[in-house]
Amino acid sequence: MGKIDIPKGKLEEIYYKMLLTRLFEKKLEYFFSAGMLHGTTHLYIGEEATAIGVCCALDKDDQITSTHRGHGHCIGKGADVKLMMAEMFGKQTGYCKGKGGSMHIADLEIGNLGGNGIVGGGIPIAVGAALTTQYKELDRVVVCFFGDGATNQGSFHESLNLASIWKLPVIFICENNLYGMSIPIENHMNIKDIAQRAKSYGIPGKIVDGNNVFEVYNTVLEAKSYVKQNGPILIESKTYRISGHSKSDANVYRTKEEIEQWKKKDPIKFMKKKLLEQKIFTQEQLETIEKQAAQEIEVSVEFANNSPYPPLDAITDDVYA
């Protein structure tokens, strides 16, 4: 790996948000295992470099659509972690007033059009947002996150076709974590690289190491300029989720050896190692950032604990159908 050519302030933001994402997910993992939270959640542990690398390359006005595994996307785009935690606790102060939970967090003020409980459901939404961007001649791009399994859905193919025909400013980010729920990727598609699918729609397809945040960030920065002038691009980010598909996944379809091998490619440890090797930060400086991230998570838990539950008479508020 060559010299890191990213401003120091941006590197600090990236490192902080990757830590914040990891610590947020570890808190949720603990709360669910202790029976303190109910329902379900899909943890992002191990994939932090993709969400944060992508979102830190965006401006506030740029928009994203997220997935069922979207906590990293939210934090990357600048979400308030207190409101995220309160939503997980089902409290009135949460992003969805405690009634949406993990998969429906949105914040239009920072360009987060929301998570989605439907696999591939965010892809046509991103194309619609990009059409608005083009129609109104706005200076922004739309980033669409989805997983490898979503690329087998009709919504993926229809959306890429329309985006290509209309040359819409969309960056399609496929987070290929090698499993569609419990199905290994080689058992649900007959190609090696998902980026190949871009060729069918006449758009570029790129592959990045999804655990290398420097590569992810620089690739998306370059893609932003490209899509504004030329239309969409598909980026396949090859990564791995360390936790199971959801909080109730016992991981019986993977070996411990496989998971341990991927833990050695931990994206946060990788970034820290490179920052120290290239003497961009000292050990003490990075430890200070780590403490600040841990403190923000503790504050968010306290905020959630001290927030009220939604009142019973609000049960039908914000229900549209």
Distance CA 69, CA 57 (A): 20
pLDDT in tens, 235-266: 999 999 999 898 778 888 999 999 999 999 99
Task: Name the CA dihedral angle for 272, 273, 277, 280, rounded to a multiple of 10 degrees.
Answer: -10
* DSSP assignments along 52-86, one per residue: HHHHTTS-TT-EEE--SS-HHHHHHTT--HHHHHH
* Residue 97 backbone zone (phi > 0: left; psi -120 to 50: alpha; other: beta): left
Identify the pLDDT of residue 321: 75
* DSSP assignments along 187-216, one per residue: GT-S-S-GGGGGGGGTS-EEEEETT-HHHH
Q: Rounded to two decimals, what is the model's pTM?
A: 0.96
Identify the pLDDT of residue 13: 98
Identify the pLDDT of residue 304: 98
Give the chain's mean pLDDT: 96
Identify the pLDDT of residue 110: 97
- The angle subtended at Cα 56 by Cα 104 and Cα 8, nearest 5°, is 150
Contacts of 137 (CB under 8 A, 6+ apart): none
pLDDT in tens, 21-45: 999 999 999 999 999 998 889 999 9
Q: Are 270 and 212 in contact (CB under 8 A)?
A: yes
Residue 92 has, within 13 A of its CA and on its CB side, a CA count of: 11
- Average pLDDT, integer, range 278-292: 98
pLDDT in tens, 29-85: 999 999 999 888 999 999 999 999 999 999 999 999 999 999 999 999 999 999 999
Give SS3 for 271.
Answer: helix
Q: Name the residue type at position 117.
A: G
- Average pLDDT, integer, range 179-205: 95
